[in-house]
């Protein structure tokens, strides 16, 4: 289903993006995967975890809900000791029970079981030094790839709740782990999130603490791959629905941005329209009707998160983002001159406009069109914004 993480047979191969990541990993790089929401980055990472190349083992961590440094490292260390991962290590290294118990004693004062981490001292707080102690005990003839999904959310929460110094200290600890010589030969990190980490650290004046990471991106599908994806998301209910190549191309033309989530969203709407009206060979008019159907009340949940997502910005930043997106929805693009005029408003005088625009780019709202102007990445998103958000 559109918007959910795709596993196994439900995962659509993204060879171009997968191969780009593998090339970087084979060079020993630590990665920063930049990708906006709903483009399939988590499905891609979980696929790499479940189907690693020989000589690699992955540990996937979703840290979005971690509000502090302690909770962040607790989450990762918890996952290191869960049976799903320790069983992988046992198969790879034929670990004895004694060796696994030795790993569990790498942090003093902790009792580790399937239920998770328990502290002898309830005031004990985990840091990067504790994760380092555990990782140094993992001696395997494999490269361990530690994936940290939604990492920027943690940094943002730490900065909001604990201040600039805490955010700087947290990033410095992460950098220390990435550069630790005792881990360098066996451990690599992939940091990712739908908030642009580079934008956030620039705002916090901490960009020097992530410059050790190599940036990779998730790209839209080519036309050929997008056509294949339309067939891939066909359901059993659609077995009597015949989409000609001409109609598939027209469907893609309406979309404009070939990310799987958007393609599947429109395909499902086409299915609904055709199945409910006994149509087996949809025409361009049927594609148009299905497209319009996406902006009705029953389908709004596909887009509402785009407005909700801006709530993480400060109030003044939200206002500037809305004014900028409303301008694009009304005029098709926004130029640097237009942005300057919006910035000139007294209510926007204190806004870090470069940061807001970077957020909108990295979160997938807009892209720079090459003419010193910005447009919506997706015509579908633009139309929804014009009808439902630009108020």
Q: Please report which confidence band the pLDDT of residue 355 belongs to, taking 50, 70 and 90 as the band edges.
A: confident
| DSSP result, 69-114 | HHHHHHHHHHHHHSHHHHHHHHHHH---HHHHHHHHTSSTTEEEET
Provide CATH code, domain 304-389. 1.10.10.10
Q: Specify the residue for token string 């992939």.
A: 190
Give me the residue spans of the domains in the chain.
8-217, 223-296, 304-389
Angstrom distance (rounded) from CA 208 to CA 49? 29
**H-helix or E-strand containing 376?**
strand 373-376
- pLDDT (tens digit, 9 = 90+) per residue, 89-137? 777 666 556 666 666 677 777 776 666 677 777 778 899 999 999 898 8
- Run of H or E residues at 316: helix 315-331
Sorting pLDDT into bands at 50, 70 and 90, what band is 72?
very high
Cα–Cα distance for residue pair 173/177, rounded to 1 Å: 6
8-217 folds as Rossmann fold (3.40.50)
Contact call for residues 113 and 154 (beta carbons, < 8 A): no
In the chain, how many H helices and how many E strands?
19, 10
Which pTM value belongs to this model?
A: 0.87
């Amino acid at each position: 289903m559109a918007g959910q993480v795709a596993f196994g047979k439900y995962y659509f191969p993204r060879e171009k993006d997968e191969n780009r990541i593998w090339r970087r990993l084979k060079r020993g790089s630590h990665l920063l995967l930049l990708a906006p929401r709903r483009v399939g980055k988590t499905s891609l990472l979980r696929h790499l975890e479940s189907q690693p190349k020989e000589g690699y083992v992955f540990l996937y961590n979703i840290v979005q809900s971690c509000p502090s440094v302690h909770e962040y490292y607790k989450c990762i260390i918890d996952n290191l000791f869960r049976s799903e991962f320790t069983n992988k290590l046992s198969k790879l290294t034929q670990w004895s029970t004694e060796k696994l118990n030795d790993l569990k004693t790498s942090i003093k004062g902790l009792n580790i079981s399937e239920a998770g981490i328990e502290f002898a001292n309830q005031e004990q707080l985990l840091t990067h030094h504790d994760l380092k102690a555990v990782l140094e005990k993992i001696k395997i003839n494999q490269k361990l790839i530690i994936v940290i999904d939604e990492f920027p959310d943690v940094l943002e929460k730490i900065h909001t709740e604990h201040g600039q110094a805490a955010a700087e200290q947290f990033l410095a600890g992460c950098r220390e782990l990435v550069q630790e010589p005792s881990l360098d030969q066996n451990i690599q990190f992939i940091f990712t999130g739908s908030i642009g980490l580079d934008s956030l650290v620039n705002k916090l004046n901490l960009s020097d603490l992530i410059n050790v990471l190599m940036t990779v991106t998730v790209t839209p599908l080519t036309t050929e791959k997008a056509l294949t994806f339309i067939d891939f998301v066909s359901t059993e209910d659609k077995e009597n629905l015949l989409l000609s190549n001409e109609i598939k191309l027209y469907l893609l033309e309406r979309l404009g941005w070939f990310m799987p989530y958007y393609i599947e969203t429109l395909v499902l709407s086409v299915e609904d329209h055709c199945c409910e009206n006994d149509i087996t060979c949809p025409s361009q008019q049927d594609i148009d009707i299905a497209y319009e159907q996406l902006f009705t009340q029953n389908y709004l949940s596909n887009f509402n998160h785009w407005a909700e997502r801006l709530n993480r910005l400060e109030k003044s930043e939200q206002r500037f983002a809305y004014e900028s997106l409303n301008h694009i929805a009304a005029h098709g693009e926004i130029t640097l001159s237009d942005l300057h005029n919006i910035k000139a408003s007294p209510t926007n005088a204190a806004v870090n406009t470069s940061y807001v625009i970077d957020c909108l780019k990295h979160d997938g709202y807009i892209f720079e069109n090459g003419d010193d102007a910005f447009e919506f990445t997706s015509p579908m998103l633009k139309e929804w914004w014009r009808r439902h958000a630009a108020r």
